A and B are shown apart, each in its own frame.
Chain A
Amino acid sequence: MNLVAMPILLPLLTAIAALLLRADTLRRGIVIASCAFQVIVALALVILTARQGPIALSIGDWAPPFGIVLVADLLSSIMVALAGIISLASIVYGYLELPCRLEHPLRIPLTQFLMVGLCQSFLTGDLFNLFVAFEVMLICSYALLTLEADDWDIKQAFPYLAINAVGSMIFLAAVAFAYGIFGTLNFAEISQRAAGMSDDPRVLILAVLLLGVFGIKAGLFPLYFWLPNSYPILSTPLAALFGGMLTKVGVYVLLRVFGTVLPQDLSGLHTVLAWLGGVTMLLGVIGAVSRNFVRGILSFHILSQIGYMVLAIGFFSPYAIAAAIFYNIHNNLVKSSLFLVGGTISLLNGTDDLKRSANLWRATPLLGVAFLLLGLSLAGLPPLSGFWGKLMIVQDGLRQGEYVLIFVALFTSIFTLLSMMKIWNASFWTQDASVPVRIHDRRWIGLTAVTCTMALLTVAVTIFAGPLIELSHQASEEIFKRETYIRAVLQLKADRGGVVDQAVSVPFEAVSDPIDGTSNPWLPEVAR
């Protein structure tokens, strides 16, 4: 049971230790050991939830409607595991890139606090706690964004901060509305109470508010401009962590809220979601083609990949959700590895401007192979991992007759390939005697090793695509069916003598306000 709290507790303790210790080799050892342990814990959580379904923990032994619950179902544990792996890779990369003396002493504590927020938002089973987790994560991300930014870069942090702060306030108001409508903030209970309320305009308004908020966090179409300008100012390992995980939290929460919490027949909103995804991927990839430095291209690609996942969520069938989850697994690893490759390119050429980089294929063929694998996988060429995710999305789209969106998705894939080839041609394939390759800087060996390990991991995703797709299907089944999730939470309630509504999808009449049945004027008439 307490295993569910470990992914939150471990980074917290690591962050405290890192703040108290001096930034030297000892601290590095402790942090690496802790990160490795976090990965092990997360993998154990994945195995456990795959075998026996969702695990719930009521914090402080308070029964669900009064206390906060942490719930690890398969999707959350997969996300926690991915976060652990990417944070480990990014920290190792950061260690190999900079000696102890030059590393910013606050980088590791903030990264670990960021992990606290990330894991908490994956594991929480409570809407307000989700808000708190988001804020922990976002405040750490603001701090990391400006930690090592120089004078020119610092202003790019401001739009990021402003748009996310407005998003947070809207989120807060949405949480308040959810409490007013349902009288609870617990995901499982909201899910029960909302079951018959899909034509209630208040639920629709709540859903639109939440869509807007999570759309901002994920970088969806109308409000995405903060992302491609702010991510390139990060240093490479942090860009890998941010690009890999931070926007994916938005996708995870969309999956969780639209899949598990809100009523499942909000089909109009799902269509909106699919179209937003389509527009985002198109604009993202056009932006990527327009950029000519590696991190800028990759930052725009985050958007287009988010578009794919949101498109799959918008299709909203168990098959499409499974596709979204598998695509998420693939994309987290590939995207962060590509950022790491970009960092190694800029170390070797002294710049990541494509006009002034060349000759890398001759210098490090291994890095070239890794980049090619990752880039083609991102574009979705068979048999690499990206292909299977895109295939599943396209299949489901064709089944639902969304031909325009599918055309956009395929068009985006071609342009993804184009922009990946742009990096390949400029950095690896071009030979230009005037461009120096700093092969004497021995750090590139370690960095290439980390990058290649990550590339191997994505190859493993390709090879074990079958089992992973099985896993995604199981996770999407869990999201769609809801019973196991709700039962896991309500079991906690029953253990403490609470009254449990036995039927999973009870109509709203069975519910009474915990404080005073008539006190809440926002409750619908049927509830009184």
Chain B
Amino acid sequence: MLLETAILAGLLFGFGIYQVLQRSFVRILIGFVLLSNGANLVILAMSGDPKGKDSPILAEGTGPHVDPLPQALILTAIVIGFGLLSYMVVLLYRIFLDYRTTNAADLFEEPLKEAKPEEPH
């Protein structure tokens, strides 16, 4: 069980990093989704083998429970990942509106300019 989880988490991290390093904005976004899911999976693996255990819901006549803490952590991590990702979508959309490109390499292609003179407010 845990070996499969470990392999899957490794694959998610690997594909995630690969996609993040691509040029297209959409691929970068997908890469971050994969990375965040990989990290969540690593947390889930820490609650151990769930074989023969009940879900951590309090009720009469339930046996040993699965460790509930990783699940609480994942819930929080998912929320944070959701916030991060939605910010990233909006930022990339804004960059798209400004630069009219979805290619991350285009953004930084030009030689670094001198600092712009600051406009007086």
Contacts and interface: CB of A to CB of B under 8 A. Distances in A.
Given A98-B121, A175-B73, A293-B115, A161 B91 contact: yes
B42 A176 contact: yes
Nearest to A295: B115
A102 B36 CA distance: 38
A183 B116 CA distance: 52
B120 A350 contact: yes
Chain B interface residue count: which class? 35 or more
A226 interface: no
A464 interface: no
A505 interface: no
Interface string B56-97: 000000001111111001001100100110011001101100
Nearest to B2: A521
A132 interface: yes
A180 B69 CA distance: 11
B87 A155 contact: no
A85 B85 CA distance: 32
B87 A142 contact: yes
Interface string B1-23: 01000000000010011001000
Given A165-B88, A179-B46, A172 B67 contact: no
A177 B43 CA distance: 8
Contacts of B118: 346, 350-352
Contacts of B46: 176-177, 179-180, 520, 522
Contacts of A525: none
B33 to A, nearest CB: 11
A272 interface: no
A139 interface: yes
Interface in A155-173: 155, 157-158, 161-162, 165-166, 168-170, 172-173
Q: Which of A143, A155, A295, A356 has most B Cβ within 10 Å?
A: A155
A481 B11 CA distance: 41
Chain A interface residue count: which class? 35 or more
B43 A176 contact: yes
B4 to A, nearest CB: 13
Given A176-B39, A293-B115, A161 B95 contact: no
B76 A169 contact: no
Q: Is the interface of B mostly helix, strand, loop or mixed?
A: helix
Given A128-B73, A142-B91, A175-B73, A168 B84 contact: yes
Contacts of B2: 521
A155 B108 contact: yes
Given A128-B76, A296-B115, A353-B115, A154 B65 contact: no
Interface in A495-528: 513, 515-516, 519-522
A177 B39 CA distance: 10
B114 A158 contact: no
A183 to B, nearest CB: 9
Contact of B39 (A169, A232, A350, A521): A169
A438 B42 CA distance: 58
Contact of B64 (A142, A168, A516, A520): A516
Contacts, number: 135
A477 interface: no
B98 A151 contact: yes
A347 B119 CA distance: 9
A396 interface: no
B32 A179 contact: no
Interface string A482-496: 000000000000000
A146 interface: yes
A224 to B, nearest CB: 16
A155 B39 contact: no
Contacts of B120: 347, 350, 438, 441
B42 A135 contact: no
A232 B46 CA distance: 41
Interface string A214-240: 000000000000000000100000000
Nearest to B106: A155
A97 interface: yes
Interface string B105-119: 001100001111110
Contacts of B64: 515-516, 519
Given A151-B98, A177-B42, A521 B114 contact: no
Contact of B48 (A175, A350, A521): A521
Contact of B95 (A139, A143, A155, A356): A155
A50 to B, nearest CB: 34
Given A142-B87, A520-B46, A353 B114 contact: yes
Contacts of A161: 87-88, 91
B87 A521 contact: no
Nearest to A138: B84
Given A168-B84, A172-B77, A152 B116 contact: yes
Given A128-B73, A293-B115, A351-B118, A172 B91 contact: no
Given A176-B42, A521-B2, A352 B115 contact: yes
22 contacts: A131-B77, A132-B76, A135-B80, A135-B84, A139-B84, A154-B91, A155-B95, A166-B20, A168-B80, A169-B35, A169-B38, A170-B39, A173-B38, A175-B73, A176-B73, A232-B115, A295-B115, A352-B118, A353-B117, A441-B120, A519-B53, A520-B48
Interface of B: 2, 13, 16-17, 20, 28, 32, 35-36, 38-40, 42-43, 45-49, 53, 64-70, 73, 76-77, 80, 83-84, 87-88, 91-92, 94-95, 98-99, 104, 107-108, 113-118, 120-121
Closest 5 CB pairs of A and B: A172-B39, A293-B115, A176-B43, A351-B117, A180-B46
Interface of A: 97-98, 102, 128, 131-132, 135, 139, 142-143, 146, 151-152, 154-155, 157-158, 161-162, 165-166, 168-170, 172-173, 175-177, 179-180, 232, 292-293, 295-296, 346-347, 350-353, 356, 438, 441, 513, 515-516, 519-522
